[in-house]
Amino acid sequence: MIKPIRIALTKGRLEKDTVEMFERLGYDCTAVREKGRRLILPVAGTNLEIVLAKAADVATYVDNGVCDIGVVGKDTIMEMGGTFYEVADLGFGKCRFALALPQGVDFYEGYHTRRIASKYVNVARGFFERKNMDVSIVKIEGSVELAPILGLSDAIVDIVETGTTLRENGLVVAEYICDVSARLIVNIASLKLRKAEIEPLIARIEDYLAGEETE
Amino acid sequence: MKHYDKVTPDGTRDLLFDECVSREEVVSRLTAMFRSRGYRQVITPAIEFYDVFGSSAAHFPQENMYKLSDTRGRLMVVRPDCTIPIARLVATRLTGMPMPLRLYYCENVYRVEHTMRGKPSEIYQAGVELIGSNSLRSDLEIVELAASGLSDINGESFRIELCHIGYFKALIDSLDAGADTKEAIRQCIEQKNYPALSDLLAPFGDSRAAAALGYLPRLFGGEEVFGKAYELFSENGALECLDYLHGLYEDLRQLGLEDRVIIDLGLVNQAEYYTGLIFRGYFDGIGEPVLSGGRYDNLLGEFGAPLSATGFAVNIDPAAQVVGEPAPQTPDILVFSDERHLPEAVNYIKSLTENGLVAENCVYDDFDAAADYARRRGIRQLHVVDDAIEAVDVETLRGEGAR
Contact A96, A177 (CB under 8 A): yes
In whole numbers, what is the pLDDT of chain B averaged over residues? Answer: 93
A210 plus A149 within the same structural domain: no
Tell me the count of A-B CB pairs closer than 8 A.
59
A63 plus A18 within the same structural domain: yes
pLDDT digit string, tens, across residues B254-287: 999 999 999 999 999 888 899 999 999 999 989 8
Contacts of A85 in chain B (CB under 8 A): 191-193, 217
Mean pLDDT of B172-201: 93
Mean pLDDT of A142-168: 94
Q: Is the pLDDT of residue B400 over 60?
A: no
A115 plus A159 within the same structural domain: yes
- Taking CB atoms and an 8 Å limit, are B287 and A192 in contact across chains? no
Nearest to B195 by CA among A206, A160, A187: A206
- Taking CB atoms and an 8 Å limit, are B118 and A81 in contact across chains? no
Q: Is the pLDDT of residue A68 over 90?
A: yes
pLDDT digit string, tens, across residues A29-44: 999 888 888 899 999 8
- Taking CB atoms and an 8 Å limit, are B192 and A193 in contact across chains? no
Q: Does B268 touch chain A (CB under 8 A)?
A: no
pLDDT at A173: 95
Picking from A86, A187, A195, the nearest residue to B191 by CB comes out as: A86
CATH of the domain at A202: 3.40.190.10
Q: Find the domain containing A83 and state its range.
A: 5-93+181-214
User: How is chain B split into domains, by residue range?
Assistant: 18-320, 333-397
Q: Does B120 touch chain A (CB under 8 A)?
A: no
Domain B333-397 has CATH 3.40.50.800: yes
- Taking CB atoms and an 8 Å limit, are B288 and A192 in contact across chains? no
Contact A154, A115 (CB under 8 A): yes
Q: Is the pLDDT of residue B158 over 80?
A: yes
Contacts of B11 in chain A (CB under 8 A): none
Q: Does B284 touch chain A (CB under 8 A)?
A: yes
Mutation target among A84, A190, A193 for the B interface, most CBs of B within 10 A: A193
pLDDT at B47: 96
* Chain B residue with the nearest C-alpha to that of A203: B218
Burial B208-234 (b: 16+ CB within 10 A, else e): ebbbbbbbbbbbbbeeebbeebeebbb
* Chain B residue with the nearest C-alpha to that of A57: B117
pLDDT at B341: 93
- Taking CB atoms and an 8 Å limit, are B192 and A190 in contact across chains? no
- How far is Cα B136 from Cα B138, in angstroms, rounded to an integer? 5
- Taking CB atoms and an 8 Å limit, are A63 and B117 in contact across chains? yes
- ipTM of the prediction: 0.84
Cα A44 off chain centre by:
27
- Taking CB atoms and an 8 Å limit, are B192 and A191 in contact across chains? yes
CATH superfamily of B18-320: Bira Bifunctional Protein; Domain 2 (3.30.930.10)
Min Cα distance A102 → chain B (Å) is: 33
The total number of structural domains in chain A stands at: 2
pTM more than 0.80: yes
> Going along A32-170, which residue ranges are E strands?
40-42, 48-53, 69-73, 85-89, 95-102, 114-118, 135-139, 155-160
With bands split at pLDDT 50, 70 and 90, how would you rate the model's confidence at B403?
A: very low
B44, containing H or E segment? none
- How far is Cα A25 from Cα B348, in angstroms, rounded to an integer? 73
* Chain A residue with the nearest C-alpha to that of B157: A193
Contacts of A79 in chain B (CB under 8 A): none
- How far is Cα A20 from Cα A204, in angstroms, rounded to an integer? 14
